[in-house]
Structure 1
Amino acid sequence: MPAGVMVPTRNMPSMISGNGNVGGFGTISGLTLGQQPNNNMMEGQLHPFEMTQNTSESEIARMRDEEFDSALKSGSENHEGVSGDDDQDTRPNKKKRYHRHTQHQIQEMEAFFKECPHPDDKQRKELGRVLGLEPLQVKFWFQNKRTQMKTQHERQENSQLRAENEKLRADNMRYREALSTASCPNCGGPTAVGQMSFDEHHLRLENARLREEIDRISAIAAKYVGKPVVSYPLLSSPMTPRPLDFGSQTGSGEMYGAGELLRSINAPAEADKPMIIELAVAAMEELVKMAQVGEPLWMTSLDGSTSVLNEEEYIRTFPRGIGPKPTGFKGEASKETCVVIMNHISLVEILMDVHQWSTVFSAIVSKASTLDVLSTGIAGNYNGALQVMTAEFQVPSPLVPTRESYYVRYCKHDAEGTWAVVDVSLDNIRPNPAMRCRRRPSGCLIQEMPNGYSKVTWIEHVEIDDRGVHNLYKQLVSSGHAFGAKRWIATLDRQCERLASLMATNIPTGDAGVITNQDGRKSMLKLAERMVISFCAGVGASTAHTWTTLSGTGADDVRVMTRKSVDDPGRPPGIVLSAATSFWLPVSPKRVFDFLRDENSRNEWDILSNGGVAQEMAHIANGRDTGNCVSLLRVNSANSSQTNMLILQESCTDPTASFVIYAPVDIVAMNVVLNGGDPDYVALLPSGFAILPDGSSGSTGSGMADAGGSSGGSLLTVAFQILVDSVPTAKLSLGSVATVNNLIACTVERIKASLSCENA
């Protein structure tokens, strides 16, 4: 396990029995690198995964003098037995006596606040008993502490917004200066200062040509959407920028966020929208036809496991398309059909909501955003909805480049009980020389089935420049299995089973460890979902997240990244290192998956468990395959400091990929989650494994998740996220990087040795 957990010392009893620490809050520490038996790994020292931060005496004094003398008066007053509700007493002659908390009391309440900012009555009474305070004093202290933290957060946010605003002002001035020296492309004269006359003049030159084209496209749009597109201005005035909505914060119209600026830059121009509509309609017709027909357009592959596109027949059937294939690009096309346990309306809603879509397919979609909504649909549903989007697709390995695409998504109610959702690239409207991936009409046809099921036919058709793929993954990528329709449909099927298990009410109560509390199940599955998303965000080759890749780390085959985490309730504060590597094993993916997910074999590869035996305390089954489950493990080690450390683990498998993802969690925090509490404040640093077939014929069939998957090798990605310093402003130690490299190397060697493939 990559990191330990430390929570502040308190004298409150644990809320979960059997934790080996009854009678008081002792120091809780997890599995740390400090007990690593390999001395070579200790060149750098990793700090434990801390739930608190150190507070200096001067800081405590400042907080007491500035904050607690004013904000905490109501909570700290000791009016000779009168409660804090009597603060409204305005008698001038009554002198109030204030109780100043001791340094020890403040430190203990600060530590408890880091873990639980909203204590209940029982916790306040116990904390007050230990610290010699009234429960009401504890209550008011926590109320004012929450107010203080909110004020600090807003102050920091305002500072960031002011800095961003100043940057935008500077950019604006720079653009104005550049425009002041611009010359007319037609006559060579100067442009008007402070106006967008350069663009306006260019638009005027194009006016006559575009008017005729827009009239033609307007007639096409009227045929499909029911009204002509005649109001698109050729000379539109500069659009007034829209301020971001910051909730209760009322900023001026001059404040923008980076995401809003990105959307405004990439959103399609008004003159392009008729062409986008025409392209989307043609793409929908192509997708529906490709989903419904078989031979000769689709041919069965040699191994009989997939459908292969007949490109000559495709060109004859769809002669127009989106243009010829770019030079040096390869075509990838695949088709897959599956019946999933979800109704067709819910599926359409997931596909048309970018947040839900990227969450369900988090192992494939590394980032996604909606740039513009051309139509929200009609009759209260998504029929006719049009969205301009951008997305980045990944394989869970740092050795496979991501595929980024700029496209339009169109949804249509094709027939009774049948819906279709299609994507098609817009690169012909906005050419991009750096483009490496172009999506021809891709998407799915969804047909209603009895009992809430749906039949989904998925088409994935792209043209790609894949020269950056590492040799280990070339066969898997070239076969179409890495990004193809089978991976999309298998992921969808598995996620539908997971969602169905979340809603299940007929949970068997006979099995030991099965969580039957519905609220507890939902909270635990939500926490595990966040853990999986965080793991996938750090294991691929995407640079869309907050990670910074480090160069010269001393291990060419290990990708090391760093991130500074501040004020994120879902992550521990400080400097986090993420290390990932991929390698080949001459073992079937099923065997690797079963070995890594089994708690009985965990001590064979988990260096930081110190040889302890893992025991499953609770689990939630979320699929037909027994390997699809969320588990809560305890490592029974000779080290007594690990008795309050649990491991949250999700294992999932389908015919195209398998994952074993885990993170250390504090036993008190998990007690809150198991009782249905909010899991968003449980800090996680996920680590784990992504297992893919190597692309050979024996490993890419349907046998990966069943007993038949005994042939072919595996591509295993190992990734760790580790807190190396709890202070975000600290400098990263090269010794810490070396230690992480050694940790991941030792883990790889242990896995190879346990699976009897030392020479792999």
Structure 2
Amino acid sequence: MFQPNMFENLHHQLVDMGHNNNNKASENSTSLDMLIRDDDHDAKSAGTDTLEPPNSGDDQDPNQHPNKKKRYHRHTQHQIQEMEAFFKECPHPDDKQRKELGRRLSLEPLQVKFWFQNKRTQMKAQHERMDNSQLRNENEKLRADNIQFKEALANATCPNCGGPAAIGEMSFDEQHLRIENARLREEIDRISGIAAKYVGKPALAYTDHVSSHGPSRSLDLPVSNFSSSQQGMVGEMFGANDLLRPPMAGLTETEKPIIIELAVSAMEELIRMAQIGEPLWTPTMSDNSSNVTLNEDEYMRSFPRGIGPKPMGLKSEASRDTDVVIMNHMTLVEILMDVNQWSNVFCGIVSRAMTMEVLSTGVAGNYNGALQVMTAEYQVPSPLVPTRENYFVRYCKQHSDGTWVVVDVSLDGLRSNTISRCRRRPSGCLIQELPNGYSKVTWVEHVEVDTGGVHDIYKVLVNYGLAFGAKRWVATLARQCERLASAMASNIPAGDVGVITTPEGRKSMLKLAERMVLSFCSGVGASTAHTWTTLSGSGEDDVRVMTRKSMDDPGRPAGIVLSAATSFWLPIPPKQVFNFLRDENSRSEWDILSNCGLVQEMAHIANGRDPGNCVSLLRVNSANSSQSNMLILQESATDATGSYVIYAPVDIASMNVILSGGDPDYVALLPSGFSVLPDGPGQYQSGVLEVGTGGSLLTVAFQILVDSIPTSKLSLGSVATVNSLIKCTVERIKCVLASNNL
């Protein structure tokens, strides 16, 4: 009887004897090699033939050479039917099952084994042929879809002029490839790979076709749609009516390829705008090339298409700035592509934002190729400067040199000829990875806007690009990166002092301060979500007020909240004003609520290189028993384009919870504070523009709980009290600063 382990021994023996060419007979010839060579024959014969098993080899002469003649055994119809039935139940029988089946069918176990091997090979070949046929049909269907897309793009018209929609400087073949790459690149690669494996066609048959038409400008990603339930909105607003209204309904299938082409063209324009110098950008000072002005004539020659010529009545604002920030490049990309994080980091600039539709999420694991349709409102922290609203597409891509680029471009004219008050030409940033977790950021900001509603005292600030320009975006980003680095510290740095004893308490206090800043910034500007009422004449010191009802919000006290704000000019440098307002030793000189009490700093968290960037916990020791031992949470922040001092009273019990690492979301806050902006670009010192060497634009904003019952009506007495409070505070600040500046 044949022994199973003899099969392996015989195979090794044949390997050693394989180079001999004599024709001596041997019944112990090879089986595995024969099986491989005869797979196709066995498959065609539906498993009716199998190799005759070798003898046990007990009397085999070791000097004999194997005979090349192979013996076959043809199974009976009954044997085949029985093994077919068994195969349906168990395609991989074990030794015991093969022996039992061979006993019933008068076959050797090795014959049974070979039959099942042949049968499995046959079934695999059939499945592969069926899969390949199905993949071929799917490929043809995808190619038919491509043709339909090409026809739709060829018939698309420009929404502004009615002519052919030729966006950017691209041929029709290149436009076709953008659409093909966006929808089908991954699918084509998968199909071509399978075809190469099973059919023998080269795997590069499809990818070579794509790359030959210029992959450097392709999206490289599939396009997908997301429902409105995935939209995001940021902003410390009180009610649902504060949501940004979508400028139009969902995008049509015809509009999506146009938006994709516009985004690709905007990406190319932004890269060129960020990298080239003269004559496109003209240095403001001969010895400082970082301060540049856009040559508009050269711009129109370099980029003749884009979103069209500048509409009548709009003013062009263009700026560029570069800085090194303390943040990993991938984290920066994530912040820019997540509407919530983006709005939080730039809360002093972005008052509200929402993602309307996601056309592409990017490749798995990052935002390379991500494409989002968004709407946002941009502000200056003062009710005297109108906000700017944009409806735009944001596109993110990683380029071959490792640089990440995030670009925005307006979609306002996509469906109508109506021109908005603000159009966003290709704007955004280039992010380059540097060692030790740093990144180099080059920012370009290019808009066309109606500046008619800006108050006179802010016009210079706006016209020089310090209000909405690239320098403000970069300076804000650099300061916020330092703050985020401080918040991520796993221990208590040596610069922190006071009653903070644990890292958890430090993080909770920073988180509470962050929410306080967000709430202040969302309610101090001229957002269209606000309804400001002017209390007095038309002078620059006018106090503007608005009321809101706070209900079911653990982060705010319930009741009627009255907000009041005023902006005015001071002939004092911004740095001096900022240092005066943030210093606890001078607080009693302007803070009426402190009632001339002694203010002591109980805790201090440094969150930036500038000493003015910090979070403090202040204690007011007042003679008034109702205000005795009152605590004030305060955050001060400053950068090259402006400063903030924001504070809110906090009760001792709540602060004890925070210092022990408790959840800060349930601490009720009503923040008040100041924003300090330069009144212009300042002066040149050694060829460098020094911001803040002139006067200051100071905004004072208070939030007061005037009634703890949300359904109550606001009394005129409450309005008069708040008006008197803010005017008295302004007069004190002016008086003290004027006397100190003598």
TM-score bucket of the superposed structures, by smaller chain: 0.5 to 0.7
**Contact persistence 1:702–1:709 (CA under 8 A):** no
CA contact (8 A) 1:609 1:637 kept: yes
Amino acid at match of 1:212: N
| 8 A contact 1:548–1:563 mirrored in 2 | no
Distance in 1 (CA, whole Å) between partners of 2:523 and 2:328 is 32
State yes or no: 1:715 paired with 2:697.
yes
Identify the residue that residue 665 of structure 1 maps to in structure 2.
650
**C-alpha RMSD of matched pairs (Å):** 3.1
The equivalent position to 1:223 in structure 2, one of 177, 193, 197, is 177
Partner of 1:192: none
TM-score normalised by structure 1 residue count: 0.65
Tell me, what secondary structure is at the counterpart of 1:397?
coil
- 2:596 maps to 611
User: Is the contact made by 1:565 and 1:573 (CA closer than 8 Å) also made in structure 2?
Assistant: yes
1:681 pairs with 2:701: no
1:531 to 497, 513, 516: 516
| 1:600 match | 585
State yes or no: 1:269 paired with 2:252: yes
Deviation at 1:697, TM superposition (A): 2.8
SS of alignment partner, residue 401 of structure 1: coil
- Report the Cα distance in structure 2 between the residues aligned to 1:633 and 1:699, rounded to whole angstroms: 38
State the distance in 2 between where 1:536 and 1:631 align. Answer: 19
Q: Secondary structure of the equivalent of 1:313?
A: helix
After the TM superposition, which residues 140-155 of structure 1 pair with which residues of structure 2 at under 5 Å, given as runs?
none
Cα deviation, 1:219-273, whole Å, max 9, x if unaligned, reads: 545423644769xxxxxxxxx9979699xxxxxxxxxx98999559443222211
Distance 1:555-1:566 versus aligned 2 partners, 3 A rule: farther
Alpha-carbon displacement from aligned partner over 1:718-754 (angstroms, at most 9, x marks no partner)? 0000000000111101111111111111111100100
Whole-angstrom CA distance in 2 between matches of 1:665 and 1:759: 33
Question: What corresponds to 1:288 in structure 2?
Answer: 271
- Alpha-carbon separation, structure 2, partners of 1:701 and 1:652: 27
Aligned residues between the structures: 530
Q: Which aligned segments of 4 or more residues in structure 1 are displaced greater than 6 angstroms?
A: 207-211, 214-218, 240-243, 257-261, 553-556, 699-704, 757-760
Matched, 1:279 2:262: yes
Which residue in 1 is equivalent to 2:108? none
Deviation at 1:216, TM superposition (A): 8.7
- Residue in 1 aligned with 2:156? 213
2:719 matched to 1:737? Answer: yes
Q: Which residue of 2 aligns with 1:129?
A: none
Post-superposition offset of 1:507? 3.2
Q: Is the 8 A contact 1:222 1:228 kept in 2?
A: no
> Which residue number corresponds to residue 675 of structure 2?
690
Q: How far apart, CA to CA, are the structure 1 residues paired with 2:604 and 2:578? A: 18
Shift of 1:757: 6.5
User: Residue 519 of structure 1: which of 478, 482, 504 is its match?
Assistant: 504
Which residue, out of 749, 752, 757, partners 2:731? 749
Q: Report SS of the residue matched to 2:277.
A: coil
Answering whether residue 621 of structure 2 is matched by residue 640 of structure 1, we say: no
Provide the secondary structure at the position in 2 that maps to 1:472. helix
What amino acid is the match of 2:282? M
Instruction: Name structure 1 gaps, 5 residues minimum.
Output: 1-206, 231-239, 247-256
Alignment deviations for residues 386-441 of structure 1 (CA, whole Å, 9 cap, x no partner) = 00000000000000000000100000001243100000001231336361100000
Q: Alpha-carbon deviation of 1:553? A: 6.2
Deviation at residue 374 of structure 1 after TM alignment = 0.5
Change (3 A) 1:669 1:432: farther
The alpha carbon displacement at 1:512 in A equals 3.8
Please report how far the alpha carbon of residue 342 of structure 1 lies from its aligned counterpart in structure 2 after TM superposition: 0.4
> What CA distance in whole angstroms lies between the structure 1 residues aligned with 2:227 and 2:283?
52
Deviation at 1:538, TM superposition (A): 1.1
1:505 has 2:461 as partner: no
Cα deviation digits, residues 311-341 of structure 1 (max 9, x gap): 1211111111210101011100000000000
**Offset at 1:290?**
1.0
1:178-197 matches, within 5 Å, as none
Which residue of 694, 706, 718 maps to 1:724? Answer: 706
Q: Distance in 2 between matches of 1:265 and 1:689?
A: 37
8 Å CA contact retained: 2:395, 2:407: yes
> Take 1:226 and 1:661, find their aligned partners in 2: how far apart are those partners?
51
Q: Does 1:405 align with 2:405?
A: no
- Distance in 1, matches of 2:661 and 2:507, equals 7
Structure 1 position 299, deviation (Å): 1.6
Q: State whether structure 2 residue 309 is matched by structure 1 residue 324.
A: yes
SS state of the match for residue 156, structure 2? Answer: helix
**Based on CA coordinates, which of the two structures has the bigger radius of gyration?**
2
- Match in the other structure for 2:575: 590
Residue 213 of structure 1 deviates from its aligned partner by: 2.9
Alpha-carbon distance between aligned partners in 1 of 2:446 and 2:244, rounded to the nearest angstrom: 31
Distance 1:406 1:530 in 2: 27
Deviation for aligned residue 1:307? 1.7
Match of 1:420 in 2: 405
SS of the residue 1:338 aligns to = strand
Task: Please list the CA deviations of residues 272-328 of structure 1 after superposition, one character each: whole Å capped at 9, or x if unmatched.
Answer: 111100100000000011111122211222495622111121111111121010101
Q: Give the secondary-structure state (helix, strand or coil) at the position aligned to 1:539.
A: coil
- Look up the SS of the partner of 1:591 in the other structure: helix
CA distance in 2, matches of 1:319, 1:386: 24
Q: Distance in 2 between matches of 1:716 and 1:445?
A: 33
Secondary structure class of the residue paired with 1:390: strand
Distance verdict in 2 for CA 1:587–1:245, change over 3 Å: closer
Query: 2-side partners of 1:743 and 1:582: how far apart?
Result: 15
Q: Which stretches in structure 2 are left out of the alignment for 5+ residues?
A: 1-149, 158-163, 167-171, 185-224, 232-239
> What is the match of residue 479 of structure 1?
464
Q: Which moved more, 1:313-322 or 1:394-403?
A: 313-322
1:699–1:712 CA contact under 8 A, matched in 2: no
Distance in 2 of aligned mates of 1:457 and 1:318: 20
Which structure is richer in relative contact order (CA contacts within 8 A, separation 6 or more)?
1
Contact 2:319 2:445 in 1 (8 A): yes
Q: Deviations over 1:480-508 (max 9, x none)?
A: 11100000000000000000001123534
Distance 2:686 2:340 in 1: 31
Report the counterpart of residue 456 of structure 1 in structure 2.
Answer: 441
Shift of 1:554: 7.2
CA offset at residue 548 of structure 1?
A: 3.8
Using the TM superposition, give the Cα deviation of residue 549 of structure 1 relative to its aligned residue in structure 2, in angstroms.
2.9
Q: In structure 2, which of residues 330, 335, 358 is the aligned counterpart of residue 345 of structure 1?
A: 330
User: What is the CA–CA distance in structure 1 between the aligned matches of 2:244 and 2:467, rounded to whole Å?
Assistant: 33
Deviation of 1:700 after TM superposition, in Å, equals: 11
Bigger drift between 708-717 and 273-282 goes to 708-717
* SS of residue in 2 equivalent to 1:482: coil
Amino acid at match of 1:284: M
The whole-number CA distance in structure 1 between the counterparts of 2:495 and 2:243 is 52
Matches within 5 A, 1:2-13: none
Q: Comparing 429-438 with 289-298, which one deviates more in the overlay? A: 429-438
1:553–1:738 CA contact under 8 A, matched in 2 = no
Q: 1:711 to 1:435 in 2, by over 3 A?
A: same
User: Which amino acid letter does the alignment assign opposite residue 553 of structure 2?
Assistant: D
For residue 299 of structure 1, the aligned residue among 267, 282, 293 is 282
In the superposition, relative to structure 1, how do residues 228 and 377 fare at CA in structure 2: closer, same or farther (>3 Å)? closer
Q: Does 1:490 align with 2:461?
A: no
Cα distance in structure 1, aligned partners of 2:368 and 2:308: 27
Contact between 1:344 and 1:453, CA under 8 Å: does it hold in 2?
A: yes
